[in-house]
């Protein structure tokens, strides 16, 4: 199908070296993201799913150019963003926007709604003509707020409305890629549906690409064209929505799905027992990161780390077993 990808992430790696404390030997570095590669095309949603601490947010922060990777490259329209010129970076920061998880913490309580949404225009004023009040009103209306609410402050809004403000701020500069880091996990169920639908409407209207991060498999299923499953800093499986949910190949993906309590269908009891008997997370020096908890681990899993390998068109899994079954 494909034209050139909008964003291409190539083997990025990130370790955080902890501070050495007085009188103690240097502790091990925390390896947050391990050699992750993926691409995002225009108008596409890539869902990123994984448990807390698996490196989802660190990855997103590197894509947003907030954090520099230890190694690896990110190309945006062929430009390496970590060696880009100032002007190129300026444009990148305008074209890639971020929606944060916590709508309470991510809005400045001392700025009015109008100021919050108008701030991107002020920052990037050298490139964009000054914003007229009409634009601001249109922007607020687009996310389901009214223009009278412009002079209110964040505490006067509900959680859902605050997230709408965050979305308005993110789309203000007409971006191409929006990174949504758990945008609905702090919201109530009935509001969650409203925000998810809004994100889809905006995507259709402006041909946005989303890097959509969530720990909720149901939300990922609803939002994503393609899905990447992360564990321990690496992508263990990546593929099209139907492939991941219809025919998950990595044991971790299957466990994640069976762990989700559902009310529509009954989970198979045996599958649930596997989830319940999962061990603790261990740090693995060599071999597959998941092998200590994996119900299907083979001897080889403890020795060599499996690479992502194609299991069917566009569907990759990093598991010795799924390679065998091909």
Residues that bind another protein (CB under 8 A): 45, 51-52, 158-161, 188-194, 196-197, 200, 215-219, 221-225, 241-242, 245, 255-265, 272, 275-276, 278, 280
User: Looking at beta carbons only, is 45 or 322 nearer to another protein?
Assistant: 45
CB 1 to another protein: min, Å: 15
Residue with tokens 């790696």: 13
Handedness of CA 48, 205, 156, 98 (dihedral sign): positive
User: Looking at beta carbons only, is 121 or 210 nearer to another protein?
Assistant: 210
CB 195 to another protein: min, Å: 9
CB 106 to another protein: min, Å: 18
CA distance 232 to 312: 24
CB 163 to another protein: min, Å: 11
What separation, in Å, do the N-terminal and C-terminal C-alpha atoms of the chain show? Answer: 24
CB 169 to another protein: min, Å: 20
Residues ≥6 apart with Cβ < 8 Å to 284: 232, 291, 292
Give whole-number Cα distances, 132 to 122, 145, 176, 265, 316, in Å: 11, 18, 22, 51, 47
User: Looking at beta carbons only, is 224 or 317 nearer to another protein?
Assistant: 224
CA atoms within 13 A of residue 299's CA, in its CB half-sphere: 0
User: Looking at beta carbons only, is 138 or 218 nearer to another protein?
Assistant: 218
User: Looking at beta carbons only, is 32 or 64 nearer to another protein?
Assistant: 32
Residue with tokens 């390496």: 80
């Amino acid at each position: 199908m494909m034209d050139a990808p909008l964003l291409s992430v190539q083997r990025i790696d990130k370790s955080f070296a902890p501070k050495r404390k007085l009188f103690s030997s240097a502790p091990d570095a925390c390896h947050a993201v391990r050699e992750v590669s993926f691409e995002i095309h225009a108008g596409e949603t890539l869902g990123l799913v994984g448990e807390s601490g698996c490196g989802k947010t660190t990855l997103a922060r590197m894509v947003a150019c907030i954090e520099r990777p230890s190694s690896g490259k990110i190309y945006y329209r062929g430009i390496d963003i970590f060696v880009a010129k100032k002007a190129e970076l300026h444009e990148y920061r305008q074209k890639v926007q971020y929606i944060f998880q916590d709508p309470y913490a991510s809005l400045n309580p001392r700025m009015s709604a109008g100021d919050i949404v108008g701030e991107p225009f002020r920052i990037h004023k050298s490139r964009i003509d000054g914003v007229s009040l009409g634009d601001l009103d249109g922007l607020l209306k687009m996310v389901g707020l009214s223009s009278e609410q412009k002079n209110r402050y964040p505490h006067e809004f509900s959680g859902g409305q605050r997230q709408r403000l965050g979305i308005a701020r993110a789309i203000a500069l007409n971006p191409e890629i929006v990174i949504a880091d758990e945008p609905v996990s702090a919201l109530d169920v009935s509001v969650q549906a409203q925000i998810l639908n809004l994100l889809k409407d905006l995507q259709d209207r402006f041909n946005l690409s989303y890097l959509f991060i969530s720990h909720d498999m149901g939300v990922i299923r609803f939002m994503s064209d393609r899905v990447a499953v992360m564990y321990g800093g690496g992508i263990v499986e990546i593929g099209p929505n139907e492939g991941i949910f219809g025919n998950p190949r990595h044991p971790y993906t299957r466990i994640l799905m069976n762990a989700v309590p559902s009310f529509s269908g009954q989970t198979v009891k045996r599958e649930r027992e596997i989830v319940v008997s999962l061990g603790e997370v261990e740090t693995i020096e060599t071999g597959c990161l998941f092998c200590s908890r994996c119900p299907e681990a083979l001897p080889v899993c403890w020795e060599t780390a499996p690479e992502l390998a194609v299991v069917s068109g566009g569907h990759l899994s990093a598991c010795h077993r799924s390679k065998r079954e091909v």
